[in-house]
Every structure is written in C-alpha cells, then in structure tokens.
Amino acid sequence: MLGYLRRNPSLAVGIVLLSLLALFVIVGNLTVDTSLARPLSVRALQPPSWDHLFGTDRQGRDLLAVMVAGTPLTLKIGFVAGFIGVGIGTALAFTAGYYRGTVDAVIRGVADVGLTVPGLLVLILIAVSVRGGLTVNEMAIIVASLAWLNPTRTIRSQVLTLRERGYVEVARLNGMSGPAIILREMLPNLLPYLAATLVNAVSAAILASVGLEVLGLGPVESPTLGMTLYWINFNAAILNGWWWWWLAPTVIILIVFLGLFFLTVGLDEVANPRLRRSA
Amino acid sequence: MQLAYIARRVLIFLLIVWLAATLNFFLPKLSGEDPVRAKLLQSAQLGGYVQAGLEDMVKVYNQRFGLDKPLWRQYLTFLHDTARLDFNYSIANYPRTVGQMIAEAVPWTIGLLGVTTLLSFALGTFLGALLAWPGAPRWMRWVMPPLWAMHAIPFFLLGLILAYLLAFQVPLLPIFGGYTAGAVPTLSLGFIWDVVSHALLPALSIVLATTGGWALGMRGMMVTTMGEDYVTFAEAKGLKSPTIFIRYCLRNAILPQTTALALALAQILSGAVLVEVIFGYPGIGALLFQAIQENDFFLIQGIVFTVIVALGFATLILDVVYPWLDPRISYRRES
Amino acid sequence: MNAEILRVERLRVSYDHPQGAVHAVDDVSFSLQSHERFGLAGESGSGKSTMALAILRMIRPPGHIDGGEVWLGDTPLSSQSDEAMRRLRLAGISLVPQGSMNALNPVLRIKGQIADALEDHGIALSPRELNARVAELLGHVGLAPEVAEMYPHELSGGMKQRACIAIAISMGPKVIIADEPTSALDVVVQRQVMATLGRVQQELGAAVILIGHDMGLMAQFVDRLGVMYAGRLVEIAPIAEILAAPRHPYTEMLVASLPSLERKGEMRGIPGLAPLLRDLPQGCAFHPRCPRAIDRCRGERPALREVAPKQHVACHLA
C-alpha cells in the first residue's frame, strides 16, 4: 500500500492534507470551547494572542472556536450532499446506461439540460424562495438536489463502455437478470471510478454551499466557513486591515479544496491506469 | 442532416428557456407567499417606513398574479411577460425596472467574462498542449504544480488573496467598483485606463484560477490523442514534428476540449458571480448580491432568467460550431 | 541482379515493466533482397509489430532498442540523426498499417493526408500538380479520384486500407512494411487489398515485409517466410519449403493447423499458451509446448543456423 502511495503522489498528498484537517477538527473539538464561536462571547477585533490563537472577529467570536466548530459543519454539508448526489446519480446512470431506450433518452435529456443551467443560480433561487433562515441540514438537501446531475452523466458514459465488455455479454446470455448484472458484474468494476466521482461531488457540493453562504444565503446563525467569509466581506475586513480574520478560513478552505483535489486526481489514476504519469 | 442537428440544438435551447421561466414561476410558490407582500411586511416590521410605490406594485402584482386567478392563468401570464422581457419593477429600487438594471450591469459582466474566458481558454489550451509534447523544454514541467494548485482553489478565494496582496499590502490596483466613484464615464484614455485597472484584479483571479484547468484538460486530451494509431502512422510517414503536433494531435485534442468549454460555461459564470461580489465589480454578480441583500425578488428572478438564457444561447452557438471542427458529427446521427 | 536491400542484424528490443523487462524482439537477424516478398509470421505477442516499429526506429519509452543494427542498403540506421531518419521514413522505408481501424486522421481529408507527407519531404507542388499526383496515386490502388476529397469515416475498411497503401507508395520507397494489412477485413476485400499490394510492389520494384499471423495469406503472397515465437526468429525458409517440409516443431504445428481443401480431418491447434514475454522459459522458448522436446531444449537456447541453402532453423533437433 505504501509502495503504491509512492507511485501515486497525488493520492498521498490528498490523504495527508485531509488527515491534517481531520486532526485539527477532532483535537480542536476536544480542547477548544466551542461556545466561544457564538457572537458576543469575547472582545471584538483582537489580533491573535495566546488567549485567542486565531484572534477574534467584529461580532465578538473567537475565531479558533469558529474554525473548529464550523469546519465540520461545512464538511458535513459537502459529504451529505455529495453522497446523496452520487447515490442518486449512480442509480440513474446505471438505469439509463444499461437499459437504454426511452429511459436513457429521458434521463440523459434532463441531465444535459440541467447541466447547462448554472447550478449556483438555481440554488440561489431555491434558497431565496424558501423563507426563514436555513439550517445546515436544509442547505445540504438543497445542494444535493442538483448534485446528482454531473455524476449521472459521467457514470453513465462509463456504464456504456462496460456494457459492451465480454463478461457482461456472457452474464446476459447466462440469463442473469438486469439488476443482478448491474450489482454483481458492473458495479464492482466501477468502484474506483465511483470513489473518484464521490470525492469530486463532495468537493463540488462544498463549493456550492460556500458560494451560497458567501452571498448571504446560508444558515446565518452557524459558524460555517462560508458564513465566516460572508461576514468578512460584509465588514470589509480586507480593507480594514483585520488580516487575521480572513487568514484562518482562507487557509482552511484552501486545505479542504486542495486535499479533495489531490484525492480526486489520485483516485482517477487508480481508476484509469492510463493516466499514470509517464516517465 | 445538418439541419436536423441544428434544429435539435435549437429545440434544447428553447427547452432551457422554458425551464428557466417555469422554475422562476413555481419556486416562489414554494413558500406560499408573494414577494411583494413579504417586502411590505418586512418594511412594516422595520419601523413603519414603507417603500414608495409599494402600493402601486401590489396592485400591478395582483393584476397579473392575483391569487384569485386560477394557477394556469397566472402561469400563462407569467410566460407571456417573460417572453416580452418584462420582468416587472425592482422592488427595492422602484421606479426602476428590473430590465433597466440588468441592462446596465450586463455589459460589465460580458466584458469581464468574455475576455477572461477566451484568454484563459486559449492560454491554457496551448500551455496544456505544450506540456504534453515530449519536445517541450524541461522547465515547463515546473509550471504544472502551481497550475494544479490554482485550479483546485475556488475563484473567489483566489480573489480574496489577490485582493489582499495587490490592493492592500501593495496598493497597486483598486479594489472596488468598476471605476473610481464619482468619475464621469467618457471615452477618454484616462477613463478607459480607470475601467481597465478596476477590472484587472477580478480578471486576474478568474484567469489564474481557470487557466490551470484548461491546461490540465488539454494535456490529458493530448496524451490520449498521441497514443492513437493515426499519430503513429503520421510519424511513420516521416512528417515533421511540428506538423504532427498541430495537424494530428492538437487538431484532434481540441475537439473534446471545446466540448469541455461548453460544459464549463455554467461553472465559470457561477465563479465569476462570486468574484464580482468580492470586488464590488458592477456586473450581474454584484447586482445579484445586492438583490439578495435587499430581498428584491423580481430582480433576482430577472437576473437568474437572463443568465440561464444567455448561457443556453452560448452553448447553442458552441454546439453549432462544433460540427465545423469535427467532420464526423454533421454526418452521423447523435449516438 | 537482386541486391540485398535491408539487413537486420541481432536486433534486440525490450520494454520496461515494474515486474521485469519484456523482451519483445530477442536477437533477431534476417535479410531482405530487393523485389523480394518476405513474410514475418507469428502469434499475437510474438513481437512482430515491434519489429516493424524497430526497423523504422520508432520505438518509444518505455521501450528501447537494446542492441543490433538495421541496414538499409549501405546505410546503418541506428547512427542516423533524427532528421535523417525522418526523411528516410516513407521515402526509403514505408509502413502500411492496419488502416481499416484508426490509422487515418479523422479530421483531415484523404488528399490532405497524402499532401502533408509530400510537403514535409520537400516536394513542392502547385495545387494542380498536387491534385494530379493524388489522383494518380489513388488510381494505382484502385480508388476513384473523388476519394481525395473524402474524410476517413466516409470510406469502407478496404478503401481505407488502400488509401494507406497509396500513402505508403507515394514516394517510391525501396522497402514496404505491411503490418497486418488485412486483419480486420473480410476475405473478399482481403484478396483485393493483397492484389493491390502485390501489384504496386511490382510496379515500384520494392521489397515487401508482410507481417501477420494468417498462414494462408502468407502462403499466397510471400517468397520467403520467417517464423517468430516469443520474440525470437525460429525458422526462415522459402515458402514452398516451409509448407512442404517445416523443420521447427512450432512451424510444423502452424502449417498443420491450416485446414485443407482436399482432405477432411480434425482441426489441429497448438496446445498451451504463448508465454508472457517477460517470463520466458529457460532454454528454448517453445519447449513447454513442444511435443518433441528433449533435455537439451530445457537448458540451452538454440541458435539460428543455416541447415540447408537459404534455410535457417533455431532448433536442437534440426
């Protein structure tokens, strides 16, 4: 396993970055008082010091507490939406790709049209229509509602290729039922690809949720990463020189996205050996 | 055959337009209230100040979408208005109409997005192609990791970082707005520079963030193409290296790359919206942000619709251009 | 007077693989006379296609030429510069690939694919001259002049193959290497293509190396046959001798597996599987499948020896 990691540096880097993040969150939640993430808990606008390692923001939140409390929330939205998206996407993709015909035409049509529409905008429309403040769970569901589009399309094309393989033909001739073929012959072969798609979907979901939050459409009470960015923008933190306020979330978001990105690239290489870097 | 292909594409475009309009109509119904009343309520809560003209708007609204009318009637009226590009008044900026406000913001966004997308696509594609070619100079390998990294970072984050570095730490470029506040738009060189310098940071964020993606994609396509039999045969024919690179590899790899462009448009736009918000660049994105802040529902609807239609149109153009690049498409049925 | 036009001397090509080097071409030597038709037969994975690329010096990493030399006339190819080698391709030695699959650029017209080769070899023609030349070449291979304006996907398999032949003869090379030119075609078209190939070869006065695995095709086309097994050349002899009295056990089984029109009998194959090129048996590569293997075969690798005029065999029993 370690030998493989050496040949697949992207995967290694991705795993390292995400592990660091996990460590931060776990250790943080055990050691830091997360009630300090609520507004008016501490003195406002303090630069980093021993009392407040990441400093404090304008509404009197301890930023370390905010990061520790908020990061898992953002990640949770991403994971939930990503999983739901890929789950639905896989089911639809296999149905469309294996059975073809009108079912395929319909599913593919919907996915194609859906992909032309910028997801963020539709999400904005949905978020604005749903009155009242959003909770973290509602955010996840809203993001999930569009998260299945891309996975459906990409998994479907893989299914189409697999369908023509010899062993599928043999299974069909042996009288295996459609669902059985899908579950026992095709799915196991696609697992690496599905894993890569999942990570990709999670990354996209986090991006979408952070985007919504930056616009002010997120769960306003929660200390998620995106909401922090929103407050930063709202209070013109950059122009005012409160560098510590935006440094922490920026770094953490960077690590999240870079980690997920390298993980995706690494998994892509596992799924498709031809992508391996040539000498 | 070619006509059928174009017809199908136009049909999809119309479908998208219809879908956008329908979404716009039904989504607000989700919450069960109408946005004008909601605004009224909100204003009342804030201490009695009532937005001027709100009474008139309520009247107009009821005329068109009155809850006493059957749903299908409302729907048809809505579709009709949308087709005429009548998006109603802006709730927060009455008596300006949504149409007016959008018309003002669109040129900024088109300017920014148009230039940056073309630039990063061209730059990234060419860079990616070079990176894949064994004959490329060795130092180019080092360009890859930073490109990878920047591709992974969302635009707006890059924007934030750039804003800090280039506008705050080193006050090189202005950080806010489309042009210096209070300046009068003229066609003078000074004003043009003003506009350009304000656009540089947002443009830079977008270009830096997306070029990497195009480069990586193109490199991947090139690697696949270079493994094809016709490239081997081209070499066996004794063709010169540049000939093989351009006529056999690039020419074929550019096809899936163009498809990727069509598919990425939506994503690029989403990212650009956020960049505009961060920099206060007066395009569609900033307008949207403002609309969200002010709870100006009609404006939001109008913007979302406009953007969806614009993207659908751009995709349509690309779809129609594609057969010109790939001779296999116009003759084959959609597989 | 037939002169020697191509000589391959102890050529060795291997590919790097994490689990061991793959010896695709292992110490192969043979020569080709001008005007001669030489066949190179063997199973999939025997190294024949690698031979074609190696002669053209087109082996790419992770493959590399480990040793040996290829002579085109008096010119040693390994010491040529990249540019000199490039100019020799198509003009000196040309390749006819398995064109019915994917050998033609899908986005260029046939005319363009003939023209760019001519241009890169320094032949400047006016548009009118070019059209005439293209039409002439197409005519040589039995294709109508209209084909020039078509794209590859508009042509049938046989037409694509003949277009590739047209390209391969466009500069009058001395050696034509045809790498499985008919594998993906049906028998009728196969015959047409082989007839075309034979005819252009005679008109040009070129030598042909026909690479393939169809012994029947070899029997009808070539003058002399080389049999490859596991990257090694195990027998070379005139085709008539090989068919009548094969000396190597592998060749014998290959010939015996050909169905006969006269007699009826059981289909005879060769038991076992071809070895992985990176995991070759000790001694003679064929001994695990050989019905006549003796102890010496297991330990000592047989060298290719001339056992009769113009007949070479690599077997301890010959």
pLDDT digits (tens, 9 = 90+) for C241-250: 888 888 888 8
CB neighbour list of residue C52: distance below 8 Å, 6 or more residues apart: C95, C177, C179, C209, C211
Contact A238 B163 (CB under 8 A): yes
Predicted structure pTM score: 0.78
pLDDT at A277 (0 to 100): 44
Chain B interface test: which of C85, C88, C104, C105 (most B C-beta within 10 Å): C105
pLDDT attached to residue B174 = 62
C263-315: per-residue pLDDT in tens?
677 777 777 777 777 777 778 888 888 888 888 888 888 888 888 888 888 88
CB nearest C103 (choices: B233, B238, B252):
B233
CB A61 within 8 A of CB A36: yes
Q: What is the mean pLDDT of chain A?
A: 80
User: Hey, what are B145's tokens?
Assistant: 């990791």
Which residues of A are less than 8 Å from C61 in CB distance? 278-279
What is the reported pLDDT for B187? 65
- pLDDT classification of C170: cutoffs 50, 70, 90: very high
Q: What is the pLDDT of residue B45?
A: 60
Cβ distance of B236 and C97 shorter than 8 Å:
yes
A185 pLDDT exceeds 50? yes
pLDDT one-digit tens code per residue, A137-169: 888 888 888 888 888 888 888 888 777 777 777
Tell me what the mean pLDDT of segment C223-235 comes to.
89
The Cα-based distances of B40 to A130, B35, B64 in angstroms read 18, 9, 18
Backbone φ, ψ for residue B330 (5° rounding): -65, -20
Select from C139, C208, C221, C125 the least CA-distant residue to C173.
Answer: C208
Give the mean model confidence (pLDDT) for residues C139-156: 91
Residue A96 has pLDDT above 70, yes or no: yes
Residue B102: the pLDDT is 84
Q: Out of B237, B247, B326, name the one closest to residue C89 (CB).
A: B237
Nearest CA in chain C to A4: C18
Residue A276, pLDDT > 60, answer no
**Looking at chain B, which residue has its C-alpha nearest residue A131?**
B31
Which among B176, B224, B266 has CB closest to A118?
A: B266
Q: What is the pLDDT of residue B226?
A: 87
| Confidence at residue C56, expressed as pLDDT on a 0 to 100 scale | 92
Residue C156 Cα to chain centre, angstroms: 23
More confident residue, C164 or B95: C164
Is the pLDDT at A214 greater than 90? The verdict is no
Q: What is the DSSP string of A198-236?
A: HHHHHHHHHHHHHHHHHTT-S-TTS--HHHHHHHHHHTT
Q: Which of B265, B278, B311 sits opposite A233 (nearest CB)?
A: B278
Task: Find the DSSP H helices in chain C.
Answer: 48-55, 82-88, 110-120, 127-140, 157-169, 187-204, 215-221, 239-244, 249-256, 295-299
Confidence at residue A278, expressed as pLDDT on a 0 to 100 scale: 38
Of C53, C104, C117, the CB nearest to B239: C117
- Tokens 């116009």 belong to B330
User: Per-residue pLDDT tens for B143-197?
Assistant: 777 777 777 888 778 877 877 777 666 555 666 666 665 556 666 677 777 777 7
Phi, psi dihedrals of residue A59, rounded to the nearest 5°: -90, 10
Average pLDDT of span C79-88: 91
B-chain residue closest to C153, CA distance:
B328
CB–CB of B238 and C91 under 8 A? yes
**Residue A243 C-alpha, separation from nearest chain C C-alpha, in angstroms:** 50
Query: How sure is the predictor about C210, in pLDDT bands with cuts at 50, 70 and 90?
Result: very high
| ipTM score assigned to the predicted complex | 0.88
Q: Do B263 and A115 make contact, defined as CB atoms within 8 angstroms?
A: yes
pLDDT score at C149? 93
pLDDT digits (tens, 9 = 90+) for A59-89: 778 888 888 888 888 888 889 999 998 999 8
The residue of chain C with its CA nearest to that of A7 is C18
Amino acid B92: pLDDT: 62
* Phi, psi (deg, nearest 5) at residue C31: -130, 160
Alpha helices in C35-109 (DSSP H): 48-55, 82-88
Q: Which residues of chain B have pLDDT under 50?
A: 331-335
Q: What percent of chain A has pLDDT over 90?
A: 0
Split at pLDDT 50, 70, 90, the class of C1 is very low
The alpha carbon of residue B259 is apart from the nearest alpha carbon of chain A, in Å, by: 12
Paired residues of C38 in beta bridges: C209, C224
**Span of A216-220, B265-269, B283-287, C82-86 with lowest mean pLDDT:** A216-220
What pLDDT, on the 0 to 100 scale, is given for residue B216?
A: 82
